[in-house]
Structure 1
Amino acid sequence: MSDLKNEWIHLLANYGHIGFTFVAAIFIGLGGGILLDQKVFDGRTSPWFTFVGLAFGIAAGFKNLLDIVKRHQDKK
C-alpha cells in the first residue's frame, strides 16, 4: 500500500476511535443513570439519576477525548 493510503487509514482509525469512545462513554453513563432510576429506586427518583448519569457520561467522554489528544501530542 502507498504511504498516502496508510496515512489516511491511520487518520480514519484515530478519528473513529475518538468518536466511538466519546459516544460510548455518554451511553454508558446514561444507561447507568436509567438503570439506577428504574431498577434500584423503582422509578421514584426518575429522572434525577438519569441526568446525573448523563452528566458523568459527558464528563467521561471529554476526559477520554483529552487523554487521546494528549497521547497523540506526546507521540509527535
Structure 2
Amino acid sequence: MAEDKRQLFRSLGFLSSVGISMVAATFIGLAMGYYLDKWLGTHPWMTLIFLGFGIVSGFRNIYILTERELKRQQKENQKDSEGKE
C-alpha cells in the first residue's frame, strides 16, 4: 500500500512538472517577444516569433522530462525483476 502511494505521488509530481514546464516556457517566450516589440517597435512580429519559440521549448521540455521518467521507470522495473528472481 505504501508503494502505491509513493508511485501516485511520483506520478503527480511528474505531471505537475510537465504542466508547469509548458506554461512557463510559453509565458517566457511571450514576455520576451512582447518586450522586444515594445523596444524595437515591431508589433506583433517579435511577440509571435518568440511565442512560437516558447511553445517549441515547452514541448522540448516535455519530451526531455518524459524520456527521463521512462528511463527511471525502466531502471525501477529492472531492479524489481532482479529482486524477485
What TM-score does the superposition give when structure 1 sets the normalisation length? 0.89
Q: Rg larger in 1 or in 2?
A: 2
**Equivalent pairs: percent with the same residue?**
36
- 1:8 is aligned to 2:8: yes
Letter in 2 for 1:64: N
Partner of 1:31: 31
Gaps of 5+ in 1: none
How many residue pairs get matched? 73
Partner of 1:21: 21
Between 1 and 2, higher relative CO (CA 8 Å, sep ≥ 6) is seen in 1
What TM-score does the superposition give when structure 2 sets the normalisation length? 0.80
Runs of 4+ with deviation above 6 angstroms: none
Gaps of 5+ in 2: 75-85
| Larger helix share, 1 or 2 | 2
